[in-house]
Amino acid sequence: MKAIPKLPNLGHLMILPVILWVIFGDPVQVTGRQASGERIAGNSKEATLLLKVGGVPFELVRIPAGEFLMGSGTGGGDEKPVHRVRIDKSFYMGRTEVTVRQFQAFVEAAGYKTEGEKGNWASTYAPAGFPIVPGHARHRLQPGFQQTQDDPAVCISFNDAVAFCKWLSQETGKNCRLPSEAEWEYACRAGGSQNSPLNFDEVGWHRDNSAGKTHPVGQKKPNALGLYDMHGNVWEWCLDMWHSGYEAAPTDGSPWTEAKFFEPVMRGGTFINPQWWLRSANHMRNNPGNRFSYNQGIRIVRTR
């Protein structure tokens, strides 16, 4: 198995609009449509992509091409058979889950109403308070517990997530989307074969340490690629539709979209799940219109 090189934590850099800076020598001016600021830090093997859209920064990590064994022989039947997947092209993935601040930028710029707001409901884990605040100046869903602008956005349906990615694609002129299941698990494992981290407390928020709520992204340790909160905090939507097992699953990293029922897959586990649910290979499904404070969030992928 080809190992993936570790990417350094490059921190938050200042972003200049309409310029692509390659930290490989002198700054380079590029032409073409650049609706947002971009900067690539690092060399051809190790890079962090920084976007600025609507005044809000997005930080993405380059995931190199490679292959891995997807699934688990020790989990449920839905994680079998273990099969080799080859990711032929590198891609960029959000260093963190999409935050309240980042989702707010979309809602306000696009005048978008989430399905929770349009339907006047979104399910909340905490019993206190109705989850929707009609007419709120920032169109923010209230999950029933206090969140900061750096917490992961929640109460996001699959349809909301797709709309967010479409907006981000239009703003940047690049293809921004949800990850496939294979891309997600590949990035979560960071080139290794380990299904579970050595210490869930060090890398994620779960039932035993979250106090029943989300937490600001990036507070726990990142994985070897520099990705935060791949285990816990909130589930993350993927492009694939649910299948009971991986028989006939794609082996090239593409999403498995053919299915009898339209039930998108979620990955990563959430703050109310036991630690076992936060394994790299574990996956869940949900109705595309469902929006829960403890389930649905977003992590973006950007292809070249």
User: Running DSSP on this structure, what letter comes out for residue 55?
Assistant: T
- Say which CATH number the domain at 161 has: 3.90.1580.10
Extract the tokens encoding 259.
């299915």
| Any domain includes 273 | yes
Q: What distance in Å separates the CA atoms of residue 157 and residue 289, rounded to the nearest whole number? A: 5
How far is Cα of residue 303 from the mean position of the Cα atoms in its chain?
Answer: 14
**Count of positions (residues) in the chain:** 304
Helices 158-172, 100-110: axis angle to 10 degrees equals 70
Angle ∠(280,131,268) on CA atoms, nearest 5: 5
| Any domain includes 28 | no
pLDDT by residue for the chain (304 residues), tens digit each?
A: 444 444 334 333 222 222 222 222 222 222 222 334 565 554 444 578 888 888 899 999 999 999 999 999 887 789 999 999 999 999 999 999 999 999 999 999 999 988 877 775 554 443 333 333 333 323 345 677 788 999 999 888 999 999 999 999 999 999 999 999 999 999 999 978 888 888 999 999 999 999 988 999 999 999 999 999 999 999 999 999 999 999 999 999 999 999 989 999 999 999 999 999 999 999 999 887 667 655 689 999 998 6
- Cβ-count burial 127-139 (b if 16+ within 10 Å, e if not): eeeebbeeeeeeb
At 172, give phi and psi (nearest 5°): -100, -15
| Any domain includes 211 | yes
| Any domain includes 9 | no
CB atoms within 10 A of CB 291: 30
Its domain, for residue 222, covers 64-303
Q: Given the structure tokens 């997530």, which residue do they identify?
A: 161
| Any domain includes 8 | no
| Any domain includes 272 | yes
- Return the HEC string of 115-184: HHHHHCCCECCCCCCCCCCCCCCCCCCCCCCCCCCCCECCCCCHHHHHHHHHHHHHHHCCEEECCCHHHH
Q: Structure pTM? A: 0.81
Beta-strand pair 296-297/235-241: parallel
| Any domain includes 227 | yes
| Any domain includes 54 | no
| Domain total of the chain | 1
Report the amino acid identity of residue 51.
Answer: L
